[in-house]
Structure 1
């Protein structure tokens, strides 16, 4: 019977590999601080305990519509394939850096420069969910957002009324 420690170590190694691939494909061409910030975002999602992000680190990284590099039709997917085992970038200095950042994040040794952010996008795009929201951090060309407090999401129940003067 395999030991629990071995399967736990295998799970951590798998999580580190998936997180490193995600970091490389989404931010590997950005400064170290941006890679660290993206890793912090993944850890913030993990700590939130909200199932819609996915289960565990691997689930969070691979959840549909979260990190485009896992979508086979997205341009970042080519970067992910190149960094995967056997790929041209698998042993590149930048991939090794992403792996070290992933290990630090999983060990809880990575500071969070995002202030608790769970959302991000590159500064050269503006997804619809970000319209009207203020980023809490900008790191290496990535904009980071925290969840809005529930009271800030109150929506009007009907159309605004004009007052006759």
Structure 2
């Protein structure tokens, strides 16, 4: 039927789906890479990988539950207001985030990490963390909670079960 449809209409539904998925994956990679750069460019490879894991863990929670308030996919999780501060328009990093290119070595690294994350080959060193904060900051949600990992200047927490 699909072959017949392609011949009849000149369209290839499978090819169009694949093209749409490739576009979505590339957009997800870009948004995730910008998030990693904005949140953890000073943390090196391990620090950026850890932040990517938080994003993926949040997506996994949303997929397991059918939805979750912070978003359901990489793009919506990264860009949820007040979750990753680099996406807040009032944040000093926001304008830089929009302008950065792969000529920046940290952004090029973030792109490589994001590609691995979207491909499903990024290992999680955070212990399933869904939250993190920088050292020296004590958000209310972290009070009395046991960190699942400390990587660089970030403290990670596994707060939400999938």
TM-score calculated relative to the size of structure 2: 0.83
Decide whether the 8 Å contact of 1:69 with 1:79 is kept in 2: no
Decide whether the 8 Å contact of 2:130 with 2:160 is kept in 1: no
Instruction: Tell me which residue corresponds to 2:73.
Output: 56
Matched, 1:26 2:39: yes
Question: Could you tell me how far 1:148 is from its partner in structure 2?
Answer: 5.8
Decide whether the 8 Å contact of 2:54 with 2:129 is kept in 1: yes
What root-mean-square deviation, in Å, do the aligned CA atoms of Structure 1 and Structure 2 show?
Answer: 1.5
Instruction: Tell me which residue corresponds to 1:13.
Output: 26
Superimposed CA distance per residue, residues 104-142 of structure 1 (whole angstroms, 9 cap, x where no aligned partner): 011111110001000000112111111111111000111
Question: Could you tell me how far 1:72 is from its partner in structure 2?
Answer: 1.0
Q: Unpaired segments of 5 or more residues in structure 1?
A: 84-88, 150-165
Q: Distance in 2 between matches of 1:54 and 1:90?
A: 27
Instruction: Tell me which residue corresponds to 1:71.
Output: 88
Decide whether the 8 Å contact of 1:24 with 1:79 is kept in 2: no
Decide whether the 8 Å contact of 1:37 with 1:139 is kept in 2: yes
Specify which structure has the higher proportion of helix: 2
Q: Distance in 2 between matches of 1:102 and 1:90?
A: 13
Q: Unpaired segments of 5 or more residues in structure 2?
A: 1-10
Q: Return structure 1 stretches of 4+ with deviation > 6 angstroms.
A: none
Decide whether the 8 Å contact of 2:35 with 2:84 is kept in 1: yes
Decide whether the 8 Å contact of 1:119 with 1:146 is kept in 2: yes
- Structure 2 residue aligned with 1:110, among 111, 122, 125? 122
Q: Distance in 1 between matches of 2:34 and 2:139?
A: 23
TM-score calculated relative to the size of structure 1: 0.82
Instruction: Tell me which residue corresponds to 2:152.
Output: 140
Q: Distance in 2 between matches of 1:135 and 1:55?
A: 24
